[in-house]
Amino acid sequence: MQLRFLGQSAFLLEHEGHRVLIDPFIEGNPKCPVSLEEALEWSLDAVLVTHAHGDHWGNAADFGRAGVPLIATVEMTHYAEAQGVKETVGMNIGGTYRAEWGQVTMTPAWHSNSFADGTYGGMPTGLVVEMGGVRLYHAGDTSRFSDMRLIGEMGLDAALLPIGDHYTMGPSEAARCLEWLCPRVAVPMHYGTFPALSGDPQVFAQEGRAYAEVRILAPGEMTNV
């Protein structure tokens, strides 16, 4: 699987012609290396969204109105349908959706979840995505929680963890998650985009390297997992 970081918590996953976009915060993302117009030209199999906050929901409805299937909680897909999105997959915690490109399982996350207009988005989630034999955990926005041990038991090749602090856990707490998740590779996210997200990825790398290979990606950079 090829993983491309797009800033904040947005990632593009690719394998043998299949592409899945997670947390599509493109417009308004000062770290995103591509424009929405460019991103809409990608041949995407699906857009996955962890929760409804603007820096994660982002341009999900734009992709959906362009014909890309949108996968999120039932509450979020109902909201998307009201915004003109035609193809949605509403899920909930513990469920797995299987498709030609791979599959995604929803996990819990400890956070809040509402749209900018106050509409409830259901539970915030993490996502375990499988593509091309690789299993990747995108934690969404969360603190450390003990059920990460159970997520780790799924056998993870990669874990994408928020380290920004203030709205999520910081780098030291995120590094401690790796002992429970046991991924081969760990990538920090959700930091440096705005002043409040001051978590230092070097702290995460130093404290997490005992448990995983930590790769710090600049926005636009790719890595193979």
Domains in the chain (CATH in brackets) are 2-217 (3.60.15.10)
What pLDDT is stored for residue 154 in this prediction?
97
Q: Which residue shows structure tokens 């509409």?
A: 119
What pLDDT is stored for residue 12 in this prediction?
98
Residue type, 41: E
What pLDDT is stored for residue 86 in this prediction?
93
**Residue 213, token pair as written in the block:** 């290979």
Cα angle 165, 156, 4; round to 5: 65
In whole angstroms, what is the distance from residue 198 CA to residue 144 CA? 18
Integer CA distances (angstroms), 193 to 96, 139, 186, 222, in order: 31, 17, 19, 18
What pLDDT is stored for residue 155 in this prediction?
98
- Taking alpha carbons only, the member of 76, 165, 88 closest to residue 125 is 76
What pLDDT is stored for residue 164 in this prediction?
98
What sign results for the dihedral spanned by CA atoms 179, 184, 189, 191? Answer: positive
Using only C-alpha atoms, what is the Rg of the chain? Answer: 16
Evaluate if pTM is beyond 0.85: yes
116: DSSP letter: T
In whole angstroms, what is the distance from residue 175 CA to residue 98 CA? 30
What is the separation of C-alpha 170 from the centre of its chain, rounded to a whole number of angstroms?
17
Strand order in the sheet with 11-15: 88-91, 70-73, 46-48, 18-22, 11-15, 2-5, 222-224
In whole angstroms, what is the distance from residue 54 CA to residue 58 CA? 5
Q: Which residues of the chain have pLDDT under 70?
A: none
Helix and strand tally (H, E) in the chain?
7, 14
